[in-house]
Amino acid sequence: MVDFELTDEQKAICKTVHEFALNEMRPVALECDKEGKLPEDLVKKAAAMGLTALAVPEEYDGGGMDQLTSAMATEELFWGCAGIATSLGANNLAITPILIAGNEEQKKKYLPRLCDPENPKFAAFGLTEPGAGSDAASISTTVTEEGDYYVLNGQKCFITNGGIADFYTIFATFDKSKKYGGIAGFIVERSYEGVSIGKKEDKMGIRASNTTEVILDNVKVPKENYMVPMGQGFYVVMQTLDLTRAGVAAASIGVARAAFEEALKYAKERVQFGKPIMAQQAISFMLADMAMKIEAGRRLYQYAGWKASKGLPCSLESSYAKAFCSDVCVEVTINAVQVHGGYGYMKEYLVEKLMRDAKIMQIYEGTSQIQRLVIAGNLMGVTDAYPWN
């Protein structure tokens, strides 16, 4: 029997996170977007509530949420402000490889850093490079072994939290000719000699989040920070993305929901031709489609998150959710601007920001095209669509 009932704990968590998003994030969202800043006081409040590291287990001082509950909390955070929420959510992406492949000493040393309410730290996931985006197996950052250290050289780009991270989970290759087989993973501290921050990106959306280049110039990494052995790095990256894509799908629904609510409110208030524009079928049908697709997307991400929480294979379901929800997010935010007419194009209205925020959902953590590639690859072995196998 399929059970769609949330637990009392999940309901309470979502309510608490929504109140935080409403009272702490929404009031500063437009200002943070305009100035491209992440407010420190808000981050401390988030850390005190366990929102800077939703997936960190309780034994390491984290929120201890499973993937489903974490995804639902993420929907609320992105409803509040996608830029701020992106920096908070990037912590989960960065530490997932440690949770998958790190040893106990690494977990004890690094995970609690993200959870200190007095001095919360950020982490960053270091995979993407100028010449290796969707083709992750083509990374060029090199690693060589020298005595008690591994030495890293290379350049990472589009790294969320790159300029503010305390540490990075960096993926590099021992031998580029081996493609997938040469990749390994390391925990690299910002304080290590040779780590520097390159260009800070001036983004279209999610502007409150910090996105930079991270440059590694003969960086000596102690052997105890060797996280993922050569040959396993690529597969840990794929596992990481399988587990976190439900969160991106949930983020998409959070932004879409915010846009829908703004459009619905406006359509009930805006009078044209002697009646609220909500009474016009052209507008009411747009809003009906928004509501329908948001609800469908929520069910997709919840199913992917449920499978991940149960330790079940979820690559296909995560790709379904990520592709569908990110497409819904873009469509809904564009239509929310359309409902507002000329006012929607103005920066004083929230829907303008939401439309700019939405586009990244189709790009980061695997583009919509890559999700369809994953789905199509899974279909290669399918002979029928009977759902009860």
Catalytic residues: 365
DSSP sequence for 56-114: S-GGGTS----HHHHHHHHHHHHHH-HHHHHHHHHHHHHHHHHHHH--HHHHHHHGGGG
Structure tokens that stand for 378 in this block: 């899974």
Q: How far apart are alpha carbons 359 and 252 in whole angstroms?
A: 9
For tokens 């910002």, what's the residue? 190
Q: Quick check: 213 and 198 in contact, CB under 8 A?
A: yes
Q: Which of 23, 355, 93 is nearest to 240 (CA)?
A: 93
Q: Quick check: 164 and 208 in contact, CB under 8 A?
A: no
User: Element (H or E) spanning 268, and its range?
Assistant: helix 233-269
Residue 288, judged by CB atoms within 10 A of its CB (0-12, 13-18, 19+), counts as: exposed
| Coil vs helix vs strand at 322 | helix
DSSP sequence for 279-293: GSHHHHHHHHHHHHH
DSSP 387: T
Q: Quick check: 236 and 84 in contact, CB under 8 A?
A: no
Q: SS3 helix, strand, coil % of the chain, rounded to 5?
A: 55, 15, 25
92: left (phi > 0), else alpha (psi -120 to 50), else beta? alpha
| Coil vs helix vs strand at 140 | coil
Distances (CA, A) of 279 to 133, 274, 284, 321, 365: 46, 10, 7, 32, 40
What is the end-to-end Cα distance of the chain in Å, rounded? 15
Residue 27's Cβ-side half-sphere holds a number of Cα atoms within 13 Å equal to 7
Q: Quick check: 177 and 140 in contact, CB under 8 A?
A: no
- Helices 82-101 & 67-80 angle (0-180, nearest 10): 160
